[in-house]
Structure 1
Amino acid sequence: MPEQILVVDDERDMRLLLRYQLEQEGYAITDAPDGRAALKLLRECTPGLVITDVRMPFMSGLELLREVKQVLPATEVIVATGYAEVETAIECMRAGAFDLIRKPFDIHEMYSCVARALDRYRLNASADLVRASQSFFATNELDRIPRAIVEGSRGLMAVDAAVLMIQDVQGRLQVAHASGLSSEAEGALLVELGERVVLALPLDRTPALVAPGLEDRRLGSVRALGAGASAILYPLAVGERVLGVLSLLRRDGLRILGKKDLDRAAVLASHVVLALENGRLACQLASSERLATLGQVAAGIGHEINNPVAYVLGNLGFIREQVAALRQGGQVDLQELEQAVLEARDGALRISDIVRDMRSLARMDDEAGGWFDLNEAIRSALRIAGVQTARRAYVQTELPEGLEVRGSPGPVSQVLVNLLVNAAQALEGWDGASKEIRVTARREADMAVIEVRDTGPGIPPEVLSRLFQPFFTTKGSTGTGLGLSISRNIVRRLGGEIGVSSVPGHGSVFTVSLPARPLAEVREVPVVPSRSAS
């Protein structure tokens, strides 16, 4: 669509002259004889530029400028006047005017000023869209994306309310996030209208625009939205697959949504679809990364299980021999027999622990669970990653008893397994004086802090700043570049944060902070140091 310009001047000849000259340049021109008429026209169009005289009846150009900036902040305003007073110029520029042109003006100067004003309007509009889009893609956590989409869309489109509705597995729309709704009834009505748009998609895939005097046949009556209200309901789809509907609502009759807003909403919707698909794929990749972590340690898990299996079988063989001797009336040392039973039980429990650790890591646990002992997750991670660390490092731990965090052990274990395996891989082939991995936990105020420290080669500064970026890897074809990114997402969902510090040649320290159970609810106990040589 051509750029829209609103010309406001109480001199008819001047309006006609500007209309003719600017239409020759390909602009769409609307004109008004005074400020009050101009404000009414703002309901019907959203001009990128307003050219106004200063001295007019009913409302001065300066007053109109202030009204335009309040109603349409992005619209540029050029003030034209035959009285180029310094005070007037200063007031206009302070009120947000793009430029001040003196009458009678040179038409080429006017063309240049109009072109520059519209260039800035388009640039600002593009910058707003980029900022909104960046907020959509600032996270790949599927549960945080809807909020970013709604808040970004509401600001970009300058609407009173925005609602993102996503289809569930039954094909019904559910509100993923909403902002600015005046009541539950208003939200329910927008969902109902969204359902009507989705039902009509096989025959009509266009977005719905409703405004006073403009109704969409798919929606029926929308009077319940309120007098003067306008709305855009944009269907979100990938091919034939429907994702949902983005609803945008303005209640102010002075700023009715129009076709130009629909054009901007079209670009916005394409970014929304990309963000939702990106979040969905990231969620799938997170599951794949969890399985990849399991696969990475699976080969050694077999060896880890074989040891206690052999232990159990050896003791069961001895028990069987003793039972046979008893049946034949022989002498049996009952103390040795009882010891063999206990040892067989210990071996079976060891196998049970390993299987439980693997199941916990593979399962999509509820990360918003209750309080659990942090040591449970740490020790589980140490057992799972033990196969990787055993061949490469000496592992030390210092863990306090009674330190609890909210969530469930599985996700925390996944984070720590990733950090332990990375530390072990960093030490592989390292020629340093010592090869150690140290895992510690402590309470700092209301946070539980876990550190995974290695004495490896460290991380170069140019790599350090990119470690948590999705798909960034220094492992070549053997790495996915998702482990640390997913670990950060998990930690943030649990209300914590993860960071790293490193000095090349002197190892690295990864720090995970998680909200700890308040001291008022737990009894403090002393730190119990432990160590395991691998």
Structure 2
Amino acid sequence: MTIRAAVLVIDDEPGIRDMLLYELSQEGFDVETAENGFAAVEALKRRKFDLAVTDLKMPGMDGMQTVEALRALDPDIEVIVATGYASVETAVACMKRGAYDYIQKPYDPAELKLLLERATQKNHLQGVVSLYEASRALLSTLKHSDLVRLVVTLAQRVLRADDVALLLQRGDSKDFDIHRLTEAATPSTELLTELGQRVIDSDSALRLPAPSIPMVTSTRAGDAYAFALVYPLIARDRTMGALVALRRSASPEFALSELERGTVFASQLAVSLDNARLYDELAQKISELMATREQLVHAEKLALAGKLAGAVAHEVNNPLSFVRANLDALKDYSSAVGGLWRAVESAALYLRGLPEAQAQEHARGLTHAGERGDRTENLVREIGEAIDETLEGVRRISELVAGFASLASLREAATPEPVDVNEVLQDCVEALPSQARRHLAQVSTEAQPCMALLAREELRSALFNLLAFLCATERKRTQGTGALKVLTTLEGTQPVVLFQDETLVLTEDERHRIFDPSVELDRGGRTMRLNLALALSYQVLRRGGAEVSTSFESGRGLTLRVLLPPVIGK
């Protein structure tokens, strides 16, 4: 015979108790009796009852008080009030206090059976609704961290537990990450670990009374943990951990119906945890794919820029060499002309000192007399200055061509060597012009050497270019100087260089294109120049095995992160 529900019969008349015990047991109910309200409360503290039938008129604790006491101890229990005095008003008052319904005495077994069945259906429906709402909340939460916080609260509500713990396995080990309902010291980590391992080994849910629960500690009477429901969390043949629900000795023992309800909840929880794991893995894969896509886009940009740069460098280099050689020759000629002019002036000065009239005439002829002589001197000086400025322009064009050539080059990275990133960064800071160094607020290096496996000069060039870019005075900032923080640290064995600037103003598009070749205006906006420094730095670092990324957070501004390859064995 299938047990329908656990029923507690409360009546001060032994004959009525015995009659109901027999009649209801014959109908398949699990029946226990109590002679008064006090005995009923003690019975409910010992075990879980789904239903209760109580007489209204009893000595000591009457029906109203009994309803209130039972519902306070277990809000899930459904109580039917029986009255032999046709006091419907009193019975209705009991219902307002939480009773399910009332029945007239003497009992009609058929009517009582019908009431109990309806109360059982209500009790079951409430459990199903509670499970449905909890399951919906679990399945709609995809983020793992949010799900973990939600689980312990839902489990306590569904299982009416005094304490709940979620135990998640760390990889393939037998260790757990334990998430508690509260931060209390009890239940102990040892107790939870023991229960979790036991249920995983048994591969089925456990309902444990006090003697079966190890290592229960308490500092107050009635505060010890006496009952437990423990569930393995398994989804897709993968064990993820365990769910532990505990009740103290002052609470009733977990019922079989609660064990079954918790089994459904634990099954939904395991599916939700697995979904959250898959969601997190998918989010990580998407993030990696986005990063890879950005790297591929940037690599394609550099490749196209490299092809263009190679063509430009080839076309410009030869005529540039010719122009530079001619300008060097002109500079020599200008110097020679300047020397001749100074010799002419000396000769004229000498002739002016002679008494002969003819000497005076020759002196005037040499200097072209008066203003024309001054104009000739200015002209010679201006020619020299023009040649110097032209040579400076040619030098800048040569640097640009060299940058083009480097960008277009497919050569392998220089031979890597162990290099202390702290030392290289300090060298770069010292090499900055004083004007640019004003933007540095902090340079902090790891206490121990940060050893990277990279060509020293390539690393130095790349870090210097990054520093120079971030310290450029013409950049837009939300405030004045002293905003850039540079620091080195270690992630495991990998050195990391972080550049953080809270004030640098860059649009989202500019942040994405920060390592692209760019055209910039010189200070004052008079001249444009092509900036290849960051593109070359990015290429050098990536070629050497480093990872370069940028991010922007409110309050922290722009962060540029360089993760360098470690020295093997370090």
2:276 is the alignment partner of 1:279: yes
* 1:243 matched residue in structure 2: 240
* 2:25 matched residue in structure 1: 23
The answer to whether the Cα contact below 8 Å between 1:166 and 1:176 also exists between their aligned partners in 2 is yes
165-174 or 262-271: bigger deviation: 165-174
* 1:421 matched residue in structure 2: none
Superposition pairs of residues 108-507 of structure 1, within 5 angstroms: 108-169=110-171, 171-180=173-182, 183-194=184-195, 196-197=197-198, 201=201, 204-212=202-210, 214-215=211-212, 220=214, 222=216, 227=224, 229-238=226-235, 241-291=238-288, 293=290, 304-318=301-315, 320-321=317-318, 334=391, 335-339=393-397, 341-342=399-400, 345=403, 378-379=508-509, 383=513
Q: Which amino acid aligns with 2:122?
A: R
Q: Which amino acid aligns with 2:268?
A: H
Write the distance in 1 (CA, Å) between the matches of 2:45 and 2:189.
27
Q: Which amino acid aligns with 1:82?
A: G
Write the distance in 1 (CA, Å) between the matches of 2:52 and 2:396.
95
Write the distance in 2 (CA, Å) between the matches of 1:291 and 1:5.
59
1:60 alignment partner, one of 52, 59, 62: 62
Write the distance in 2 (CA, Å) between the matches of 1:380 and 1:137.
40
SS in structure 2 at match of 1:42 = helix
* 1:84 matched residue in structure 2: 86
Q: Which amino acid aligns with 1:209?
A: R
The answer to whether the Cα contact below 8 Å between 1:128 and 1:156 also exists between their aligned partners in 2 is yes
Write the distance in 1 (CA, Å) between the matches of 2:112 and 2:218.
45
Output the TM-score relative to the length of structure 1: 0.60
Write the distance in 1 (CA, Å) between the matches of 2:15 and 2:207.
36
* 2:477 matched residue in structure 1: none
SS in structure 2 at match of 1:2 = coil
The answer to whether the Cα contact below 8 Å between 1:319 and 1:341 also exists between their aligned partners in 2 is no
SS in structure 2 at match of 1:517 = coil
Q: Work out which of the two has the higher radius of gyration on C-alpha atoms and give 1 or 2.
A: 2
Cα drift, residue 237 of structure 1 = 2.6
Write the distance in 2 (CA, Å) between the matches of 1:228 and 1:64.
26
> How many aligned residue pairs are there?
372
Q: Which amino acid aligns with 1:42?
A: L
Write the distance in 1 (CA, Å) between the matches of 2:205 and 2:241.
12
SS in structure 1 at match of 2:57 = coil
Superposition pairs of residues 507-522 of structure 1, within 5 angstroms: 516-517=554-555
Distance 1:344 1:249, change over 3 A: farther
143-152 or 108-117: bigger deviation: 108-117
Write the distance in 1 (CA, Å) between the matches of 2:53 and 2:21.
11
Q: Which runs of 5+ in 2 are unaligned?
A: 329-389, 410-461, 467-498, 517-547, 558-570
Write the distance in 2 (CA, Å) between the matches of 1:375 and 1:194.
55
Q: Which amino acid aligns with 2:115?
A: C
117-126 or 256-265: bigger deviation: 256-265
Cα drift, residue 295 of structure 1 = 7.6
Write the distance in 2 (CA, Å) between the matches of 1:267 and 1:107.
34
Cα drift, residue 63 of structure 1 = 1.0
Write the distance in 2 (CA, Å) between the matches of 1:252 and 1:273.
29
Cα drift, residue 373 of structure 1 = 7.1
Q: Which runs of 5+ in 1 are unaligned?
A: 357-368, 387-408, 414-513, 522-534
The answer to whether the Cα contact below 8 Å between 2:55 and 2:82 also exists between their aligned partners in 1 is yes
* 2:431 matched residue in structure 1: none
The answer to whether the Cα contact below 8 Å between 1:43 and 1:256 also exists between their aligned partners in 2 is yes
Output the TM-score relative to the length of structure 2: 0.56
Cα drift, residue 330 of structure 1 = 6.1
SS in structure 2 at match of 1:83 = coil
* 1:452 matched residue in structure 2: none
Cα drift, residue 112 of structure 1 = 2.3
SS in structure 2 at match of 1:307 = helix
Write the distance in 1 (CA, Å) between the matches of 2:246 and 2:56.
34
The answer to whether the Cα contact below 8 Å between 1:377 and 1:410 also exists between their aligned partners in 2 is no
1:256-301 deviations in Å (ceiling 9; x for gaps):
2343332222112111101110100111221333355568778866
SS in structure 1 at match of 2:275 = helix
Write the distance in 1 (CA, Å) between the matches of 2:500 and 2:162.
37
Q: Which amino acid aligns with 2:185?
A: E
Write the distance in 2 (CA, Å) between the matches of 1:184 and 1:347.
67
Q: Which amino acid aligns with 2:124?
A: R
* 1:9 matched residue in structure 2: 11
139-148 or 224-233: bigger deviation: 224-233
* 1:463 matched residue in structure 2: none
The answer to whether the Cα contact below 8 Å between 2:225 and 2:246 also exists between their aligned partners in 1 is no
1:372-391 deviations in Å (ceiling 9; x for gaps):
6796682267659x9xxxxx
Q: Which amino acid aligns with 1:152?
A: L
Q: Which amino acid aligns with 1:211?
A: P
The answer to whether the Cα contact below 8 Å between 1:23 and 1:29 also exists between their aligned partners in 2 is yes
Cα drift, residue 148 of structure 1 = 0.8
Q: Which amino acid aligns with 1:277?
A: D
RMSD of Structure 2 on Structure 1 (CA):
4.0
Q: Which amino acid aligns with 1:193?
A: E
Cα drift, residue 349 of structure 1 = 9.0
1:161-215 deviations in Å (ceiling 9; x for gaps):
111111113514333421135x3253423333235426x71xx223343323x41
124-133 or 307-316: bigger deviation: 307-316
SS in structure 1 at match of 2:212 = coil
Write the distance in 1 (CA, Å) between the matches of 2:61 and 2:85.
16
Q: Which amino acid aligns with 1:206?
A: S
The answer to whether the Cα contact below 8 Å between 2:225 and 2:248 also exists between their aligned partners in 1 is yes
SS in structure 1 at match of 2:145 = coil
The answer to whether the Cα contact below 8 Å between 1:229 and 1:251 also exists between their aligned partners in 2 is yes
Q: Which amino acid aligns with 1:210?
A: L
1:436-475 deviations in Å (ceiling 9; x for gaps):
xxxxxxxxxxxxxxxxxxxxxxxxxxxxxxxxxxxxxxxx
Q: Which amino acid aligns with 2:90?
A: T
SS in structure 2 at match of 1:153 = helix
Write the distance in 2 (CA, Å) between the matches of 1:105 and 1:350.
99
Distance 1:8 1:271, change over 3 A: same
Q: Which amino acid aligns with 1:70?
A: A
The answer to whether the Cα contact below 8 Å between 2:166 and 2:243 also exists between their aligned partners in 1 is yes
Distance 1:410 1:234, change over 3 A: farther
Cα drift, residue 345 of structure 1 = 4.5
2:36 alignment partner, one of 24, 31, 34: 34
The answer to whether the Cα contact below 8 Å between 1:8 and 1:31 also exists between their aligned partners in 2 is yes
* 1:423 matched residue in structure 2: none
Write the distance in 2 (CA, Å) between the matches of 1:348 and 1:13.
104
1:499-534 deviations in Å (ceiling 9; x for gaps):
xxxxxxxxxxxxxxx9x439xx9xxxxxxxxxxxxx
Write the distance in 1 (CA, Å) between the matches of 2:509 and 2:64.
71
Distance 1:340 1:371, change over 3 A: closer
Q: Percent identity?
A: 26
Cα drift, residue 89 of structure 1 = 2.4
SS in structure 1 at match of 2:251 = helix
Distance 1:130 1:158, change over 3 A: same
Distance 1:165 1:89, change over 3 A: same
The answer to whether the Cα contact below 8 Å between 1:315 and 1:340 also exists between their aligned partners in 2 is no
